Amino acid sequence: MKTDIILAGVGGQGILTIAASIGMAALHHNLYLKQAEVHGMSQRGGAVQSHLRISDRDIASDLIPLGTADLIISVEPMEGLRYLPYLSENGWLITNMNPVKNIPDYPDPDQLIRAIKDISNYILVDADQIASEIGSKKSGNMVVMGAATPFIDIPYSSFEVGVGKIFVRKGEETVKINLEALRRGREYSERMRK
Amino acid sequence: MMLLGDEAVGQGVMDAGLSGIYAYPGTPSTEIMEYIQSSPLTKQSNIRCEWSANEKTALEAALGMSYAGQRTIACMKHVGLNVAADPFINAAITGVNGGLIIVVADDPSMHSSQNEQDSRFFGKFAMVPVLEPSDQQEAYDMAYTGFSLSEKYNIPVLLRLTTRLAHSRSGIKRSPVLKQKKLNLPADPTQFILLPAMARKKYKRLISQQSLFEYESSKSSFNKLIKGKNKNPGIIACGLAYNYLIENFEDHMSPYTVFKISQYPVSRVMMAEFLGLCREMLVLEEGYPLIEESLRGMMDDCRTVHGRMDGYLPRDGELNPDLVADAIGLPSRKIFKVPDIVRDRPPSLCKGCSHADVFSALNEAIEVYGKGRVFSDIGCYTLGAFPPYNAIYTCVDMGASVTMAKGAADAGLVPAVTVIGDSTFTHSGMTGLLDAVNDQSPVTIIISDNSTTAMTGGQKSSATGRLADICSGIGVEKDHIRTIIPLKKYHRENVIVLKEELGYHGVSVIIAQRECIQTAGKKKRAS
């Protein structure tokens, strides 16, 4: 098995938490893993991305070749589109629909949504809405991750273990709410995929 | 263990009996120190691990620890090695006592830097062995074994990382933890005295060691000659480039003959064997064309060498699997286009950042004098170059804002203004301020003091709370050391202070003091 994932977002949105949680799930499932991160200047509100590679065999490159990613997981709609050249022909774009408008020339959100719908395989999720429904606005990233879990060949229980391990330092309540966000994201995605 | 390349280096040196690490923060090297600071081994073994004022002080302190017989490392980003170049070059001549590894993380593609210089050249310049890992496990193994190499020849060893490896995570297998070395003075009491008569002898020794270093490279398990079915081209793959190469082949098996180079100086024995196997070659280097250039030589007519110098690969920027595939001539895949509506999203100052209030006040105060008078430096505040601020005109190297403003003022650009952060000021701004004071140059130095090294993630700043005393000690007149609080509600008062000092014909320092909102937030969450 091999899943290559591009994670995308804006500095500060928590894509490294998604990467770490999926990574933890992969390790729990005894898989190989490489994960390239962006640190430094871009973390100040700029475009950030992470290459996450999971496989049952040894992985060579830290970077995913163009046109081969199985998934793009994005916590912001424009950022997902930025990395489209990495997506394979049959790959899926899983993206949050809520824009982060911290630049003066941010495009028209309707046009963005249309561009996403032009892709054959996509899941567009209102992660902010779902996160506030469960009373934790900060958990939008876990909703998006949840929406991506049906596309990664790892048992769901391993994802739960991964999220648990990542949030355990922040207390039981935080773990619980993030697991709920994960589950809601997954359910949404499974509904949309049908 | 899942570790970043940086963390793998940290774990490797700790497992090999590290006694102390010295470093100044700089992307992509920062996480080496941070990892060691937070490791349980650090407490158990009492490993010295505080940030230094700059890379030069860091490397000199590490050399001192090596003098005392203990294993130590100095870590920095590539441009940090420019600052530490003096001790670096000379440490190769004194040699070491306890093992000394200088870890330098280069930043090809300038993700977070002002240039993409290749530290392998520095290694060659200093004539020391250079290690360049191709993956996280090699980063660990090189850090672990680097001390033995250093101690075997009494020579500092340069370990060169690049951004992708430094900031990518993978699994690591550890080796047994070794004991730290005891305090032990150099056997030769003159070893570290570089008086000309002694330095000449030591330099001859360094020259005579070169063939031994090459011999080490030919024996090194990090260098490999892998024979392939296809004779041409033969491929030389340095460091990380090796992984980009094998990514392109089924089961990671190259059909071409590959010379994987991860330890320098390049073994000429291995190179001769490689050259005997192919007529044409492709050189893959994550950085400058160091090997390619030496293969071509001045005559450039031996045989066909491809790489960064003939357009097979771009002359600048980092490599990736696609560029390598293209250079070998593999067919390109069909890829989706980025939709036209996608816009660039450059980094920007955080909402509520103190630097933003400094720039608003400065822009208003300086308006009457016109544009082009503000010299700035390396840090978050460099983002003041972008809209809506458009407030600064230079960013060159650590501390240059002070000295460039002084030079411009000497040329008649009065007032000339500096905007520098607190950590950058103590790194390399203080000596320039002394120059300005001695010359009574008409400069206004704004220290935008957020009490941390913010850009790299909020490390301890060297002189938090002591900046006014330092400036006064350097000789700035007390009346012209002003402290303001950069907040919107004090905007008008701050503009008045700035205007007063801009009108003063001498050195003034304005300390704009408000804690970084990121570190303040972190502290709040932790409590």
What DSSP element (H or E) covers B423? helix B422-424
On chain A, the residues whose CB falls within 8 A of the CB of B319 are: none
A-chain CB neighbours of B338 within 8 Å are: 81-82, 84-85
Of the candidates A62, A64, A103, which has its C-beta nearest B243's C-beta?
A: A62
pLDDT for the residue B143: 98
Using CA coordinates, name the residue in chain B closest to A100.
Answer: B345
| Distance between CA atoms of residues A80 and B338, nearest Å | 10
Distance, in Å, from the CA atom of B259 to the CA atom of B275, rounded to the nearest integer, reads 10
CA-nearest of B117, B123, B83 to B101 is B123
Nearest CB to B252: which of A43, A60, A89? A60
Could you give the 3-state DSSP secondary structure of residue A15? helix
Of residues B164, B337, B345, nearest to A63 (C-beta)? B164
Longest alpha-carbon distance in chain B: 77
- The Cα of B15 is separated from the nearest Cα of chain A by a number of Å equal to 23
Give the Cα separation of B185 and B204 in Å (integer). Answer: 23
Closest-CA distance of chain B to residue A12, Å: 10
**Closest to A27 (Cβ–Cβ): which among B2, B335, B347?**
B2
A48 to chain B, minimum CA–CA distance in Å?
Answer: 9
Specify the DSSP element, H or E, that contains A96: strand A87-96
E strand or H helix at A71, and its extent? strand A69-74
Distance of alpha carbon B73 from alpha carbon B96, whole angstroms? 12
Instruction: Determine the residue of chain A that is closest to B252 in CA distance.
Output: A60
Q: Which residue has the tokens 């009996």?
A: B17
Radius of gyration of chain B (CA): 25
Query: Which residues in B396-490 belong to E strands, given as ranges?
Result: 416-421, 443-449, 481-484
B321/A40 Cβ within 8 A:
no
- Asked whether B316 and B237 are in contact (CB, 8 A), the reply is no
A32 inside 8 A of chain B by CB: yes
Residue range of the domain that includes A148: 2-193
A42 touches chain B (CB under 8 A): yes
Q: How many residue pairs from chains A and B have C-beta atoms closer than 8 A?
A: 148
Picking from B30, B168, B321, the nearest residue to A34 by CB comes out as: B168
The beta-carbon neighbor of B167 closest among A33, A36, A89 is A36
Partner-chain contact A84 B339, CB within 8 Å: yes
> Do the Cβ atoms of B444 and B415 come closer than 8 Å?
yes
| Residue B105, amino acid | A
Q: Which residue of B has its CA nearest to A109?
A: B341
> Measuring CA to CA, which residue among B35, B10, B12, B5 is closest to residue B144?
B12
To the nearest whole Å, the CA of A129 is away from the closest chain B CA by 23
Q: What is the dihedral of CA B294, B296, B299, B302, to 10 degrees?
A: 120
Residues of B in contact with A33 (CB under 8 A): 2, 169-171
* CA nearest to A120, candidates A88, A154, A164, A78: A88
Nearest C-alpha in A relative to B113 = A41
Q: How far apart are the first and last CA of chain A?
A: 24
A113 touches chain B (CB under 8 A): no
Regions of chain B with pLDDT less than 70:
301-302
Beta carbons of A41 and B334 less than 8 Å apart? no
Q: Does A18 touch chain B (CB under 8 A)?
A: no
pLDDT at B298: 86
Check CB contact under 8 Å for A60 and B457. Answer: no
pLDDT at B302: 65
Q: What three-state secondary structure class fits B258?
A: strand
3-state helix, strand, coil split of chain B in percent (to 5) is 45, 15, 40
Bridge-based pairing of strands B256-261 and B230-238 is parallel
Which of A45, A64, A66 lies at the smallest CB-CB distance from B348? A45
CB of A58 within 8 Å of any CB in chain B?
Answer: yes
Residue B248: strand, helix, or coil: coil
Residue from A29, A37, A41, A52 to probe the interface with B (highest B Cβ count within 10 Å): A41
Q: Does A85 touch chain B (CB under 8 A)?
A: yes
- Interchain CB distance below 8 Å, A62 and B322: no
Residue of A nearest to B5 (CA): A36
Tally of structural domains, chain A: 1
| pLDDT tens digits in sequence order for chain A, 194 residues long | 999 999 999 988 889 999 999 999 999 999 999 999 987 777 778 899 999 999 999 999 999 999 999 999 999 999 999 999 999 999 999 999 999 999 999 999 999 999 999 999 999 999 999 999 999 999 999 999 999 999 999 999 999 999 999 999 999 999 999 999 999 999 999 999 87
Q: Say if residues B289 and B307 touch (Cβ distance below 8 Å).
A: yes
Asked if B404 and B394 touch (Cβ cutoff 8 Å), the reply is yes
Q: Read off the CATH number of the domain in which A120 is found.
A: 3.40.920.10
Measured in degrees and rounded to the nearest 5, phi and psi for residue B196 equal: -45, -50
Strands B280-284 and B230-238: parallel
Q: Do A61 and B247 touch (CB under 8 A)?
A: yes
Contact (CB<8Å) A44/B252 = no
Q: Which of B170, B338, B345 to mutate to test the interface with A (most CBs of A within 10 A)?
A: B345
Residue A2 touches chain B, beta carbons under 8 Å: no
User: How is residue A46 written in tokens?
Assistant: 């700029």
Q: How many Cβ atoms sit within 10 Å of the Cβ of residue B116? A: 20
Nearest to B168 among A37, A67, A112 (CB): A37
Could you give the angle at the alpha carbon of B444 between the alpha carbons of B443 and B445, nearest 5°?
Answer: 110
Q: Under an 8 A CB cutoff, do A46 and B171 touch?
A: no
Contact A162, A155 (CB under 8 A): no
